[in-house]
Amino acid sequence: MNKLRQLVTPIIVLMIGVTLAGCASGPTQSEDLLTVEPEALTQKDSDQPTETTVSVPEVEANNSLDSCWVILKGVVYDFTPVVQQHPFGVQLSQAVCGKDSTQLLSENTDLDELLQQISPLKVGSLIVG
């Protein structure tokens, strides 16, 4: 569990950096490691329905550095740009991709605030049942 927390803490720092990247006039060299470009946070397909539903098997299939979906409080997020730009992306992808990471992240951050910050990464709601 301690090793997992070591991986989660950089996620939290990275998520804060995601929000700050949109506000900063220009990233510094150290911010480059902790931010995701604002363009990466835009939805890939603007023609998507407003309320997409996603099944657990779909989330579980997106469990790699190339396609990383994460469940947080019943909502699915595409963390691909986050893990691809993170210095420990491979380890991070193994810890959170294709999984419900609600408890893991809520132990280390204010999850509601984090969810507001990452709302552009939303894929859809998890199908329950």
Percent of the chain past pLDDT 90, that is, above it, reads 39
Mean pLDDT of the chain: 75
Contact (CB, 8 A) for 58 and 77: no
Residues 42-60 have a mean pLDDT of 74
> Is the pLDDT at 119 greater than 90, yes or no?
yes
More confident residue, 18 or 37: 37
| Dihedral (Cα; 74, 62, 99, 5), 10-degree rounding | -120
User: What is the tens place of the pLDDT at every residue in 21-40?
Assistant: 433 333 333 333 334 555 55
Tell the residue number behind the tokens 């859809």, with chain if given: 124
pLDDT at 29 (0 to 100): 36
pTM as predicted:
0.65
Highest CATH level, class, for 2-20+54-126: alpha beta
Of 3, 11, 6, nearest in space to 101 by CA: 11
- Let me know the angle formed at the C-alpha of 87 by 6 and 93, rounded to the nearest 5 degrees: 65
Token couple for 29: 């060299």
Residues 51-69 have a mean pLDDT of 95
Contact (CB, 8 A) for 79 and 95: no
Amino acid at 11: I
pLDDT at 28 (0 to 100): 36
User: What is the tens place of the pLDDT at every residue in 103-116?
Assistant: 988 888 888 898 89
